Every structure is written in structure tokens, then in C-alpha cells.
Structure 1
Amino acid sequence: MRIPALGRNWAQPVYQGTNPEQLRAGLGHFDGTEAAGQIGNFVLAGHRSGIPSPPLRNIDSITPGASITVSTPQRITYTYTVTSISTVDPADVAVTAQVPGQPSATPTKAMLTLVTCWPADGHSKRVVVEAPLASARGGEL
């Protein structure tokens, strides 16, 4: 994954699961959420502090309109465009629903949701970045 708003050379691996070992190594893909580029919500979590070089330390640098790209082993690159950044209660798991905030809705578009702690050195809230899929290109040769 690449997020230019976090630095020109910012890139992080995405691991399946959100256990401590995955989150220490990079970003974690929430089990039960969609894969990159698929209709529904592709939900990722990452640390903002508490480990050496936390991937989402500077999440406050992400603003609406920022691009996020995810490249897959199949050589497909998905580009998402950030539409909202919010702060929610840690118990607000509806942000990880197939349609963020609408747990019973049926998805009609592909979304990316990033989740991390707020404030930077705490965990009383969660920062949530939402970005619908803007484009896809490439594929296996």
C-alpha cells in the first residue's frame, strides 16, 4: 500500500489479520472484510504509536482528495480517493461494515477504510479514513 500524503516514499505491506504480530509488521486486513478492489469494504488497521516506525503515525496528514494505492500479487493496482476522515468511539464497529456506518445495507461500491487510534499516543477514540475505489489497472501477465 502507498499513501503519498504520508510521505513520497511511504509504503507498507498489508497482512491478513489484525493480531499483534501483523500490526507490528505493517497494516492488518480485518478478517471478514472484502479484498482490495471488491464490492464492499476493504478494512485495514495500523498502529499510530507504541511500536518502532508505526505506519499510521502521521495519519493527520491525510486529507479528503488524497490518493491511496494498493497493489496486489496479481499486479493489479487499485487507487482509492479519500472522501472523509472522522473520529469515532472504539465501540463503533459499524465503520467496518460492508457499507461503513450501515451494517444492514448491501454494498454497491468498493471502499477502503483505514482505522487507527486517536490521539496519537492514546486509544480513547479511533481515526477512520474512508475512500471509495477510483480506479483499477493492470493484471497478471
Structure 2
Amino acid sequence: MEAEFPIVEGASEENLRTAAGYLPGTASLGKEGNSVIAAHRSHTHGRMFNRLEEIEAGEEIVIVSETGEKTFSVFNKTIVSPNDTSVLSQDTNGESIVTLITCTPMKNLTHSLIVQGKYNE
């Protein structure tokens, strides 16, 4: 799966209309902790996190920012209730991870799809 889109600071509704949003207060990409990024699932194939459910363990998430390219290996994919904030935890045992969050299922957004990857230094 391949997708390209901007990541902006903050996951406000306005930001999420056109980009993925980095949740303030979470770790910086590639630093110890949990960097959390949320995006909508557009009904347009390949847009935003539309195809996030296709990612499997062992695949890579590549994020390019002003500080360079960061690659993460997917280790977890799960579905949680929207009230489950445990996926935002910064307790990562010294590791750097990224957590991608979107709503699921596509037609009846009742839960959150979570994909997490560990940083490949």
C-alpha cells in the first residue's frame, strides 16, 4: 500500500479535512515515546487512511519530515472503542513508535483502527 499526504500539527476537524494530524503532547517522530498521527478515511480509494486496514505486521511505514525520512516496522494492528486512550500511552519501554489512528468501519464509524510501528534506526 502506498499513500502520500501532508501531516500537520494538531488533529482538529479543520486540519483533518485535508491532512493527517500529529497529536500534540505525543513524542516527536523517531524519538523515545509514542508519536500519534490521526487521519480520516476518505471514500476516495487511496486517499488519507482509506487503505490503512491493508497494512500487515512486518510492513513498513515511511514518514518524511523536515528532519528526514523515518521508517517504522508495523508490529500491531487492532480495533478499539473510541474511548480507549491506551493507544496514546507514552510508556514504550524506551522505544520509538508511531501510532496511526482512523475510524472504522468505513460506513458505520463506531470504532478506531490502530496501526503501530517501531522505529528502524
Match of 1:70 in 2: 63
- Report deviation, 1:95: 0.4
SS of the equivalent of 2:14 reads helix
Deviation of 1:52 after TM superposition, in Å, equals 9.6
Runs (4+) of structure 1 exceeding 6 A deviation are 50-53
- Counterpart Cα distance in 1 of 2:47 and 2:28: 23
Of Structure 1 and Structure 2, which has the larger fraction of its residues in strand?
A: 2
Q: Deviations over 1:19-61 (max 9, x none)?
A: 0111111110011101111100000000013689740111121
CA distance in 2, matches of 1:53, 1:134: 25
Match of 1:96 in 2: 88
2:99 to 113, 116, 133: 113
**Structure 2: which 5+ residue stretches go unaligned?**
none
Q: Give the distance between the partners of 1:23 and 1:38, measured in 2 at CA.
A: 24
> Which of the numbers 70, 94, 112 marks the counterpart of 1:126?
112
Q: Is 1:61 matched with 2:54?
A: yes
AA in 2 matched with 1:57: N
CA RMSD across the alignment: 1.9
Q: Retained in 1: the 8 A contact 2:43–2:50?
A: no
Instruction: Name the larger-Rg structure.
Output: 1
Letter in 2 for 1:37: G
1:8-19 mapped onto 2 (5 Å cutoff): 10-19=3-12
Rate the CA distance shift 1:24–1:53 in 2: closer, same or farther, 3 A. Answer: farther
Question: What percent of counterpart residues are identical?
Answer: 27
Q: Which residue matches 2:73?
A: 81
Q: Retained in 1: the 8 A contact 2:95–2:118?
A: yes
Q: TM-score, structure 2 length as denominator?
A: 0.91
1:19 and 1:53, CA in 2 relative to 1: closer, same or farther beyond 3 A?
Answer: farther
Q: Distance in 1 between matches of 2:24 and 2:7?
A: 12
Where does 1:23-62 land on structure 2 (aligned, <5 Å)?
23-49=16-42, 54-62=47-55
Counterpart of 2:109 in structure 1: which amino acid?
H
